[in-house]
Homo-oligomer: A and B are copies of this chain.
Amino acid sequence: MTPPAADLVITRCTVLTHDDQETIGFAEDASILVRNGIVEAVVSGAEAGGVPARERIDAHGQIALPGLINCHTHAPMAALRGVAEDLPTDAWFNDVVWPVESNLTARDVELGARLACAEMIRAGVTCFADHYFAMDAVAAVVEECGIRAHLGEAYFSSQGPAGRERSLEFALEHRGRAGGRITTTLAPHAPYTVDDTDLAATARLAHEHGLPVHLHAAENRDQTTTSLQRHGVTPIEVLRRTGLLDTDVLIAHGTGILDDDLPALRDAGGRVAVATAPRGYLKFGWPTTTPVRALREIGVPVGLATDGAASNNSLDVWESMALTALVQKSTTGDPRWLTARQALHHATLQSARAVGLGDTIGSIAPGRRADIVLVDLSGPHTQPVHDLAATLVHSARSSDVRTTIVDGRVLMRDRELLTLDVPSVVRELGERLPTLLDRGHGRRIQEYDT
């Protein structure tokens, strides 16, 4: 009897695998069977030969990885890539980004999101956690282009209750959209822009509606110092006392997390995770980076991220993976820490957990969603391969991703984007930029004063 046809079979590749202890391994000459957007099986090359399939990809010599996950970004800010260079954090916010964002329209957000999704799909990113404004437009782009996303409508207390209400409304309306590719979150901006009353209300709404929370907290050491001076507590302690640590909370950056904050994170009632975007910390000259090693010791997953392109200049999660390894070695002074395999663990299972999809994505295994990227290591810069994990983390680049697949659907094939038209986005964005960038009005959406 002929077995039923698979939707997609990827043949003859090397597959990154996780065993029961989550140790990373590589299955050579393997094939991946996909049905209904789900990985049905990973089998040996010979076994896959007889399986009928509607679509086959011969990935001979390529590596199949779980798609990368960008655990904290502001995708539409791709439109602002390069507008605020070589500036300290306060000038970056107050002199450029927050004045410019007061001009933002839903159409700008849509175009920026489309550009960002194009960039991410080309870089092997299959899911992103977005925290921005006019998120209906981002959701529409996600629906259209086939990527997976974890979306939250950002708000400040300066908006009054309407900001918080809009964030909830968005989260409830879009949860589960795009065939389940969209998950949602409440998205207060940060403890320095959202007051304790609003944070506590957010925690209550999260419990009431079964929603997670995604926010910036302890982004840098200055914020922690200022919080201690003004309120006598750290930003993490603010999260604890407002109840946010009893929700499923994703904390962006956390380079200002102190050793004294670790017990609160360890003992949190909710699932706490941190997203690290190390490029921006270097670029802003922040004195510390995310304490990945300390967080590991208390069992808090750390996912990889890029932040927005206005600060990070790219949405290249592959670079975040390499930089996380390098910066962790450098800041701990220990070259044996954060090995290539550990970096791959952050890029896969820990990132999936950070965005609340720890049981769904982050691994190529039966029952997981088929979010897969195929990487070509035949270039001279990735040869010879003595240690495949090291080659992937330290030699390969996002441009080595040949094919990007989400829910079993091919979004990029041989580096050609199948669901987005970059030139038309760039053209329209170019026309809109003079209006978007105008700062003559003297307004800004918020004041940065940590």
A residues at B contact (CB < 8 Å):
78-83, 85-89, 115-116, 118-119, 122-123, 279, 281-287, 309, 313-316, 325-327, 329-330, 332-336, 339-340, 378-381, 383-387, 390-391, 394-395, 397-399, 422-423, 425-426, 429-430, 433, 437
Contacts and interface: CB of A to CB of B under 8 A. Distances in A.
A314 B429 contact: no
A330 B285 contact: yes
B395 A86 contact: no
A147 to B, nearest CB: 13
Given A394-B313, A395-B81, A283 B335 contact: yes
A85 B282 contact: no
Going nearest first, the 5 A-B pairs with the smallest beta carbon separation are A313-B394, A399-B399, A118-B380, A282-B326, A82-B386
A86 B339 contact: yes
Contacts of A284: 329, 335
B86 A340 contact: yes
A98 B333 CA distance: 23
A324 to B, nearest CB: 11
Given A88-B336, A285-B335, A394-B313, A383 B115 contact: yes
A88 B335 contact: yes
A87 B429 contact: no
A287 to B, nearest CB: 6
A82 B333 contact: no
A314 B383 CA distance: 10
Given A285-B333, A326-B282, A329-B282, A381 B82 contact: no
Contact of A83 (B119, B122, B287, B387): B387
Contact of A395 (B313, B340, B379, B426): B313
A329 B285 contact: yes
A314 B390 CA distance: 11
B330 A119 contact: no
Contacts of A281: 330
Contacts of A399: 397, 399
Nearest to A417: B380
Contacts of A426: 378, 380, 383-384
17 contacts: A85-B387, A86-B335, A86-B336, A115-B380, A119-B379, A119-B381, A281-B330, A283-B329, A283-B335, A313-B391, A316-B397, A383-B422, A383-B429, A384-B426, A384-B433, A386-B437, A397-B399
A23 to B, nearest CB: 16
A330 B286 CA distance: 6
A381 B314 contact: yes
A21 to B, nearest CB: 19
Contacts of A433: 384, 386
Between A78, A85, A430, the greatest number of chain B beta carbons within 10 A of the residue's beta carbon is seen for A85
A82 B333 CA distance: 20
Given A83-B386, A119-B381, A285-B332, 4 more contacts: A123-B381, A283-B335, A384-B430, A384-B433
Contacts of A391: 81-82, 313
A287 B333 contact: yes
Contact of A429 (B118, B326, B340, B384): B384
Nearest to A315: B381
Given A122-B379, A379-B122, A399-B397, A384 B81 contact: yes
Given A81-B395, A397-B397, A279 B326 contact: yes
A381 B394 CA distance: 20
A330 B255 CA distance: 13
Contact of A387 (B82, B339, B397, B429): B82
